[in-house]
Structure 1
Amino acid sequence: MLNRLSFCFAAALAVVSWIPNSAHAEDPILVEIDTSEGAIILELDKENAPLTVANFLEYIKKGHYAGTIFHRVIPDFMIQGGGMDASMKERDTLPPVRNEGANGLKNDEYTVAMARTGDPHSATSQFFINTGKNNGFLNRSDPRSDGYGYAVFGKVFDGKEVVDKIEAKQTRSVPVPGAGLMEDVPVEPITIKGVKVMSGAAE
């Protein structure tokens, strides 16, 4: 009986010692969006959205986001940025990334997803942070979606209060050169000073 108990105890120790090694096999990818309203830290989901995360990291590496703004803010829906400067001029972008809306991630509150046009595979640098609790219609699996959805690739790890502060800003409609009138633009520009990788991926 003693030998059997000793074996079981040894086996249990082996299992316990194995779990931490597996759990810490890869650090999460954390990036900091430094805004004029404070810092927002995102945790990116490379496992479920590898193409989208790689695309986002490439823009970070190129310094694309420094000086862009959150140009579209809609309460109880989302805050969108990453493509225009304070003069509402759109930045040059890389080729579009393939839509990963079928990855199982949902447009839940405080998740981050790719902005795009009516073309499901048109996302480039612009992203949005969901602030609404009822954004399920943006998911590919929802019958109200266009069959592709908006690809979620991470979530807010820290700085939700900054997201809330941005969401509460007063907005207006402004003319955009070559694109007509854009609604829901913050009256006072909300600047993205820069975006940097904090952990989990090389800059």
Structure 2
Amino acid sequence: MTRRVAMTMTLAATLVAGPALAQDAPKVKFTTTAGDIVVEVYPDKAPKTVENFLQYVKDKHYDGTVFHRVIDNFMIQGGGYEPNFNEKKTRPPVMHEGAAAFGKGLKNEAGMLAMARTNNPNSATAQFFINVKDNAFLDPTLRQDGYTVFGKVVGGMDVVNKIKAMPTGAGGPFPSDVPKTAVVITSATLVK
């Protein structure tokens, strides 16, 4: 067998295996008052982040929380507050894996799921956001830690787009960007 044929066969096997790996990715269904959103997450690219997120799903942490920060042409954020703006208790923060996930191809692009955090890169707990456009400025660089991307929307992007277009204003402790009509995550369940 020539080297070129061997390389071609290896490439073909990789291409066939690639989609199979994505099919094995865990999926979570968010049932919301605006419709259903299904995300798949990648433990092979951001293992600690995915483990953390899935534990919150299993603990039913997201049930009854709202998308409390919605910015059209940027992202929708949720997973931390109840409709009355009580912040839900969380576990200690997860280690930041932004650079590692980025190095494995995960970027803050439209439809990608990432961890929300404060200015401290190691402060992410339960809150997440879904990018509604390509936000390369959130990716890790030599000068910034960026935000850890760990999954993507595989169903219900129309619901994400509906949420991002909702009128927003002040609400609870937030001076802006809160949907005027609450979008509640009624349940988050592992579907695969």
| TM-score (norm. length: structure 1) | 0.81
Letter in 2 for 1:128: F
Whether 1:192 aligns to 2:189 is no
Structure 1: distance between partners of 2:77 and 2:58: 20
Cα separation, partners in 2 of 1:139 and 1:92, compared to 1, 3 Å: same
CA contact (8 A) 1:71 1:186 kept: yes
Alignment of 1:24-173 (within 5 A): 27-102=24-99, 103-104=101-102, 105-133=106-134, 135-141=135-141, 147-173=144-170
Cα separation, partners in 2 of 1:24 and 1:47, compared to 1, 3 Å: closer
Letter in 2 for 1:62: D
Higher deviation after alignment, 22-31 or 68-77: 22-31
Count of residue correspondences: 177
Structure 2: distance between partners of 1:110 and 1:186: 19
Tell me by how many angstroms 1:174 deviates. 2.4
Tell me by how many angstroms 1:24 deviates. 6.4
Unaligned runs of 5+ in 2: 1-8
Task: Identify the residue that residue 6 of structure 1 maps to in structure 2.
Answer: none
CA contact (8 A) 1:32 1:196 kept: yes
Structure 1: distance between partners of 2:148 and 2:161: 22
- Paired-residue identity, %: 45
SS at match of 2:186: strand
Which has the larger Rg? 1
Task: Identify the residue that residue 6 of structure 2 maps to in structure 1.
Answer: none
Structure 1: distance between partners of 2:157 and 2:165: 12
CA contact (8 A) 2:93 2:124 kept: yes
Unaligned runs of 5+ in 1: 1-11
Cα separation, partners in 2 of 1:23 and 1:40, compared to 1, 3 Å: closer
Structure 2: distance between partners of 1:24 and 1:37: 30
SS at match of 1:69: strand
Tell me by how many angstroms 1:26 deviates. 7.4
CA contact (8 A) 2:84 2:172 kept: no
| TM-score (norm. length: structure 2) | 0.85
Letter in 2 for 1:166: I
Letter in 1 for 2:136: G
Letter in 2 for 1:190: V
Task: Identify the residue that residue 182 of structure 1 maps to in structure 2.
Answer: 175
SS at match of 1:84: coil
